């Protein structure tokens, strides 16, 4: 049925259906109250430990305390958190504490569909175990939630103790002998690559290919510049001789020996200009004075470019072998450092805050839950009221008739009881 979109219409609907609203609201409120009353108290045991990073060796030449370690801060801490939350580690602690003590009735709850230990691991990783880290430090906070405060404390303590043992085993694995062999192999490979590269350079007379190519190109450019300067000087000499000829013509007769010598000098100078221009324009052609030098440079450039591919490949092999050797050597130094720590009984983990039995349960946030229950009851009750009104075919006020038949209502009468 039509609902008038006004405050009067909504109040009318609410008044007609108030019994349903009260029933729905009371049901939701009662169910929420039962849930709040029956909520189980949960205790949280806290603990924390410090992950110590590898320190650089400041006793060696060129090393400093500011050198970056092989493993970054974030990677180091996250790797240890993954070890802490691994299924294998949690399974070992669950067996130590007892799966039924940790979650009473869990064996019956899985009913053969899954192993109790695996279900306990799923619950722990889902909500009951939390490992967090502050990005500014290497401290990992561990929180364990359980209905029994003693169990929460025992599991948190057992988890940290088992983690320390497992972490020590991981870092004390006998990698040093393997790495020593890898370092030796990498060093031999690097030396072989270097010898092969040096032999190639020696056989081909190459010290540094790129530098030699740059030098040859510079020399060739300088030769071209020298030719241009020679042309300019020859042209200036011709101009000077022609100027002298003009001055001598005003003084001496054309058949004079002086005039004849000047003419011969001018002809020789012009031939020199022509020759220098030929050297400049065709410096690589036969017959030029610069031709042998330019040809030698071009031949050497062609030879170097023909061997550039092999030169570059050998140079890259040397660089790659050096990088591989440095990497293995760095790993070997870290492995020796871990072995030294283990021999001295020093672990990479230090317990900062040992778990204790929590005295108070975790706050239940009852006020927020109560507000949520009240809002749920209110919204659900209003929804039921509006839905009931829409499905009801009876008429409650004149506007519904007008909306249904499309005609105005002229008059309406209230209910009258006839006695």
Q: What is the pLDDT of residue 152?
A: 92
Tokens of 142: 């561990």
pTM: 0.44
Q: In what side-by-side order are the strands of the sheet with 43-51?
A: 129-133, 139-146, 43-51, 349-353
The whole-angstrom separation of Cα 283 and Cα 288 is 6
Tell me, which fold does domain 43-57+68-174+347-353 have in CATH? Bacterial polysaccharide co-polymerase-like (3.30.1890)
Q: What is the pLDDT of residue 300?
A: 82
Q: What is the pLDDT of residue 124?
A: 92
Q: What is the pLDDT of residue 192?
A: 93
The whole-angstrom separation of Cα 311 and Cα 136 is 48
Tokens of 228: 């241009």
Averaged over successive runs of 10 residues, the pLDDT of the chain (419 residues) comes to 59 77 88 75 89 54 44 72 89 92 89 86 90 83 92 92 80 61 87 91 87 78 58 68 72 76 76 66 50 74 84 90 86 65 58 87 74 89 80 63 64 59
The whole-angstrom separation of Cα 111 and Cα 116 is 9
User: 68: alpha, beta or left, given left = phi > 0 and alpha = psi -120 to 50?
Assistant: beta
The whole-angstrom separation of Cα 160 and Cα 96 is 13
Q: What is the pLDDT of residue 80?
A: 84
Q: What is the pLDDT of residue 229?
A: 59
């Amino acid at each position: 049925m039509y609902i008038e979109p006004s405050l009067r219409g909504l109040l009318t609907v609410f008044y007609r259906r108030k019994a349903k609203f009260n029933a729905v609201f009371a049901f939701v409120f009662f169910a929420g109250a039962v849930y709040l009353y029956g909520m189980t108290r949960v205790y949280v045991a806290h603990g924390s430990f410090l992950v110590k990073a590898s320190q650089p060796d400041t006793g060696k030449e060129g090393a400093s305390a500011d050198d970056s370690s092989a493993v970054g801060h974030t990677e180091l801490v996250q790797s240890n958190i993954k070890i802490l939350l691994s299924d294998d580690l949690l399974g070992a602690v669950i067996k130590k504490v007892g799966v039924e003590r940790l979650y009473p009735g869990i064996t019956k709850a899985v009913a053969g569909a899954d192993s109790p230990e695996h279900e306990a691991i799923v619950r722990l990783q889902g909500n009951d175990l939390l490992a967090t880290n502050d990005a500014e430090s290497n401290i990992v906070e561990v929180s364990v939630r359980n209905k029994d405060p003693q169990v929460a404390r025992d599991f948190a303590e057992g988890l940290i103790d088992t983690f320390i043992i497992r972490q020590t085993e991981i870092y004390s694995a006998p990698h040093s002998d393997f790495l020593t062999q890898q370092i030796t192999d990498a060093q031999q490979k690097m030396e072989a690559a270097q010898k092969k590269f040096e032999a190639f350079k020696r056989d081909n007379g190459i010290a540094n290919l790129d530098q030699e190519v740059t030098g040859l190109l510079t020399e060739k450019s300088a030769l071209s510049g020298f030719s241009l300067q020679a042309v300019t000087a020859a042209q200036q000499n011709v101009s000077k001789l022609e100027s002298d000829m003009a001055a001598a013509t005003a003084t001496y007769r054309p058949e004079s020996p002086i005039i004849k010598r000047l003419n011969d000098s001018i002809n020789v100078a012009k031939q020199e200009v022509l020759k220098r221009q030929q050297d400049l324009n065709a410096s690589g052609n036969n017959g030029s004075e610069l031709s042998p030098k330019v040809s030698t440079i071009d031949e050497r450039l062609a030879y170097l470019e023909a061997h550039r591919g092999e030169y570059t490949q050998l140079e890259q092999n040397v660089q790659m072998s050096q990088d591989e050797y440095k990497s293995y050597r760095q790993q070997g130094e870290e492995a020796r450092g871990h072995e030294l720590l283990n021999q001295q009984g020093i672990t990479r983990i230090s317990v900062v805050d040992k778990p204790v039995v929590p005295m108070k349960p975790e706050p239940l946030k009852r006020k927020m839950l109560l507000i949520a229950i009240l809002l749920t009851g209110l919204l659900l009750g209003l929804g039921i009221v509006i839905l009931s009104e829409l499905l009801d075919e009876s008429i409650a006020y004149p506007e519904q008739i007008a909306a249904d038949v499309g005609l105005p209502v002229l008059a309406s009468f209230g209910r009258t009881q006839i006695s």
